[in-house]
């Protein structure tokens, strides 16, 4: 309809902006050439485009996957994106992404499978071969209306409201990302979002939840003393759970919390660290464990570890911390540590 109006009424000659003349036919395949001196600048631009393209594609893919309840294979999508961009480079095309607007329009028209993309590709080839002249009369305002319609389809206000109720920090990241893209552009907006997300991750990992554990009558396992009523602990024993990997940025906090617990009680003889949540341990974390063992020993408290993963135990062995703690204070489970202390408790009370 828009093409017919522009063509029939010659609106393009009266100031209505149109797409204009388009090259007819398929592009020729050729290897891209560029001066080697431009390689550094091109590499930076290529990495930026790759970040924007992949981020845009995955946001769109996951949005529609959540809407229609199917899964997205990130690795497969990444390989497909790379193959498409290589093909675009050999055919003088522009950088390929997830085509948010086209995805939204395809979904709006009822597209449910890959056949939608194949049909769209076939139509584009047909237009390039035979209908570039009519396409030149398409008004740019009509294209803008299509993009606005697609953008409205992508904006999920209800999901944003749910995010506000579930996590205010994630809601803040979403809003900052949206405003950043509007204010400073797509690439800088995404970089801001990535930076904020990494900062939040570091904050959470550097101050993870921890707990002193005990046993509860009628329930198996060990439970937090602070959050469960009726949890019993043995006098002289502390079972301590640190809810994150023990790495360079949170190891000082781990040591601080352990010493605070020891300082709060005068009866402690054993301090056992639950290793089940510690899925990673670096050299700094191992060093802090060794230092803690020495400081506790000076106070008459033995440090032990229980339920440590094989990869974290390997780090303790390489750094010599395992030998420092002693083989008799390495326990396979918290239950075995609890029983070992219970069996020796009579010796402490004599």
Give the model confidence (pLDDT) of 95-107 as tens digits.
887 666 677 767 7
Residue 193 and residue 74 share a domain? no
Q: Which range in 67-81, 108-122, 278-292 is most confidently predicted, on average pLDDT? A: 278-292
CA 305 to chain centre: 31
pLDDT of 349 above 70: no
**What proportion of the chain, given as a percentage, has pLDDT over 90?**
33
Residues 101 and 151: beta-carbon distance below 8 Å: yes
Average pLDDT of the segment spanning 39-57: 81
Distance of alpha carbon 84 from alpha carbon 249, whole angstroms: 40
The pLDDT of residue 39 is: 83
Query: Among residues 138, 171, 206, which one ends one of the domains?
Result: 206
Same domain, 162 and 56: no
| First-residue to last-residue Cα distance in the chain | 97
CB 307 within 8 A of CB 274: yes
Domain, as residue range, for 105: 2-155
Are residue 14 and residue 148 in the same domain, yes or no?
yes
Is 58:77 a contact under the CB 8 Å cutoff? yes
Q: Are residues 312 and 345 in the same domain?
A: yes
Q: Angle at which helices 39-68 and 74-90 pack, to 10 degrees?
A: 130
User: What tokens were used for 302?
Assistant: 């033995």
Mean pLDDT, the chain, rounded, equals: 85
Stretch (H or E) spanning 272 = strand 270-274
Looking at the predicted structure, is the pLDDT value of residue 284 above 50? yes
- Mean predicted confidence (pLDDT) in 169-183: 85
- What pLDDT, on a 0 to 100 scale, did the predictor assign at position 321? 94
Domains in the chain: how many in total?
3
Give the pLDDT confidence score for residue 251 in this predicted structure: 95
Residues 139 and 183 in one domain: no
> Is 347's pLDDT higher than 80?
no
> Any idea what the CATH number is for the domain that residue 251 is in?
3.30.750.24
Which of 155, 189, 221 is the last residue in one of the domains?
155
Domain co-membership, 190 together with 277 = no
- For residue 316, pLDDT over 80 is answered with yes
Residue 350 pLDDT? 44
Strand partners, 215: 232
**Are 104 and 165 contained in the same domain?**
no
Instruction: Tell me, yes or no, whether 89 and 194 share the same domain.
Output: no
Same domain, 105 and 74: yes
For residue 277, is pLDDT > 80? Answer: yes
Q: Is the pLDDT of residue 294 over 50?
A: yes
pLDDT of residue 100: 66
SS3 assignment, position 331: strand
**How far is the C-alpha of 142 from the C-alpha of 146, rounded, in Å?**
6
Residue 148 shares a structural domain with residue 13 = yes
- 117 and 41, same domain (yes or no): yes
Q: Among 88, 120, 155, identify where a domain stops.
A: 155
Q: Are residues 72 and 106 in the same domain?
A: yes
Choice between 66 and 330, residue whose per-residue pLDDT is larger: 330
Q: What's the pLDDT tens digit per position in 127-150?
A: 888 877 777 878 888 878 877 776
What Å distances lie between residue 115 and 68, 199, 252, CA to CA? Answer: 17, 41, 56
Q: At what angle are helices 39-68 and 186-206 packed, to 10 degrees?
A: 70
């Amino acid at each position: 309809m828009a093409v017919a109006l522009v063509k029939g009424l010659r609106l393009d000659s009266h100031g209505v902006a149109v797409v204009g003349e388009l090259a007819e036919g398929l592009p020729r395949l050729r290897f891209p050439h560029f001066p080697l001196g431009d390689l550094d600048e091109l590499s930076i631009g290529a990495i930026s485009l790759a970040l924007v393209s992949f981020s845009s594609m995955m946001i769109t893919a996951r949005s529609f996957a959540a809407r229609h309840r199917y899964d997205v294979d990130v690795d497969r999508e990444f390989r497909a994106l790379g193959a498409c961009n290589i093909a675009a480079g050999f055919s003088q095309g522009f950088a390929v992404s997830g085509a948010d607007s086209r995805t939204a329009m395809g979904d709006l028209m009822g597209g449910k499978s890959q056949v939608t993309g194949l049909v769209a590709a076939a139509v584009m080839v047909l237009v390039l071969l035979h209908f570039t002249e009519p396409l030149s009369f398409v008004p740019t305002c009509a294209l803008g209306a299509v993009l606005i319609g697609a953008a409205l389809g992508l904006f999920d206000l209800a999901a944003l409201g749910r995010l506000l109720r579930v996590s205010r920090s994630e809601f803040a990241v979403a809003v900052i990302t949206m405003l950043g893209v509007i204010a400073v552009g797509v690439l800088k907006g995404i970089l801001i979002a990535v930076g904020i997300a990494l900062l939040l991750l570091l904050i959470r990992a550097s101050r993870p939840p921890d707990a002193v554990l005990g046993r509860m009558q009628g329930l198996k396992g060990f439970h937090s003393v602070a959050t469960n009523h009726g949890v019993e602990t043995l006098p002289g024993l502390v079972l301590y759970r640190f809810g994150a990997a023990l790495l360079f940025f949170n190891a000082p906090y781990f040591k601080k919390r352990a010493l605070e617990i020891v300082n709060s009680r005068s009866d402690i003889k054993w301090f056992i660290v639950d290793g089940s949540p510690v899925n990673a341990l670096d050299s700094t974390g191992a060093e802090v464990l060794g230092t803690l063992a020495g400081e506790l020993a000076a106070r008459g408290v033995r440090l032990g570890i229980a339920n440590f993963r094989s990869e974290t135990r390997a780090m303790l062995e390489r750094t010599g911390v395992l030998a420092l703690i002693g083989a008799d204070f390495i326990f396979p489970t918290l239950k075995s540590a609890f029983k070992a202390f219970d069996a020796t408790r009579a010796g402490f009370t004599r």
